[in-house]
Amino acid sequence: MNQLTDLTPYIFGAITLAGVLYFLYSIIFGEVSGDGGPDLEVADDAGKFGCTIIAAFLAAFGAVGLLGTLSNWGLPLTLGASVVFGLVIGRIIMAVLAYVVRQQSTERHRIDDLIGVSARVTIDTPAGATGEAMVETAYVSKYPVRDVTNSPLSRGDYVEVVDVRDGTLYVKKKRQG
């Protein structure tokens, strides 16, 4: 048992270091397994930040464990305080990261959800060519567009999205701009 007690500060120190390093890595470079695609839903905060929250827990757990060990607390008290503090810090980090994401993100949607939405053509486009249109929903986005009848599109024309293929919106004219 004395050998374990001698190693305890190193164990807690290693846990702290691993947690801090991964937490900093995930904050600076993003999650290792996260895809960051546009189909993420903001409602699943814990799932999106899982490894970051675990890293925060480990950092807090290890720090309090190291403090307790160096302060000669008993092992049960050290472990109990470490777990409680780790859970509290993990929950705080989850709330802070969820708040940051809500502040930075807008409504996310899939491109297929744009069928039936109106758009405004931003550049003159010859017949059969791909042009560009601006879609105004909760935010403004530009997409490549083609007329379904291969008609030319003029800047300012209002169109309706009728199909989406390979990231291109296929549209029909609603009215001239």
pTM over 0.95: no
Q: Are residues 89 and 116 part of one domain?
A: no
pLDDT of residue 43: 43
Q: From the CB of residue 165, how many other CB atoms can be counted at a distance below 10 Å?
A: 8
Residues β-bridged to residue 145: 131, 169
Q: Are residues 88 and 115 part of one domain?
A: no
pLDDT band at 114 (very low <50, low <70, confident <90, very high): confident
Q: Are residues 42 and 98 part of one domain?
A: yes
Q: Per the structure block, which two tokens stand in for 72?
A: 């000669």
| Burial track 77-112 (b if 16+ CB lie within 10 A, e otherwise) | ebbebbeebbeebbeebbeebbeeeeeeeeeeeebe
Q: Using CB atoms within 10 A of its CB, is residue 152 exposed (0-12), middle (13-18) or buried (19+)? A: middle
Q: Which of 104, 139, 156 corresponds to the end of one domain?
A: 104
Q: Residue 143: give the domain boundaries.
A: 111-175
pLDDT of residue 160: 93
Q: Are residues 153 and 85 part of one domain?
A: no
pLDDT of residue 111: 75
pLDDT of residue 1: 57
* Backbone torsion region of residue 132, taken as left when φ is above 0, otherwise alpha when ψ lies between -120 and 50, otherwise beta: beta
| Burial track 2-31 (b if 16+ CB lie within 10 A, e otherwise) | eeeeeebeeebbebbeebbebbeebeeeee
Residues β-bridged to residue 135: 119, 141
Tell me how far apart the alpha carbons of residues 166 and 146 are, in angstroms, rounded to a whole number.
12
Q: Per the structure block, which two tokens stand in for 37?
A: 């695609």
pLDDT of residue 92: 94
Across the range 103-132, mean pLDDT stands at 82
Q: Is the per-residue pLDDT at 172 higher than 60? A: yes
Q: Which of 50, 80, 104 corresponds to the end of one domain?
A: 104
Q: Are residues 92 and 8 part of one domain?
A: yes
Q: Are residues 115 and 99 part of one domain?
A: no
**How many separate domains does the chain show?**
2
pLDDT tens figures, 43-97: 444 556 688 889 999 999 999 999 999 999 999 999 999 999 999 999 999 899 8
Q: Are residues 135 and 90 part of one domain?
A: no
pLDDT of residue 38: 39
pLDDT tens figures, 12-57: 999 999 999 998 888 788 755 444 443 334 444 455 668 888 999 9
> Are residues 132 and 145 in contact, defined by beta-carbon separation less than 8 angstroms?
yes
Q: Is the per-residue pLDDT at 150 higher than 60? A: yes
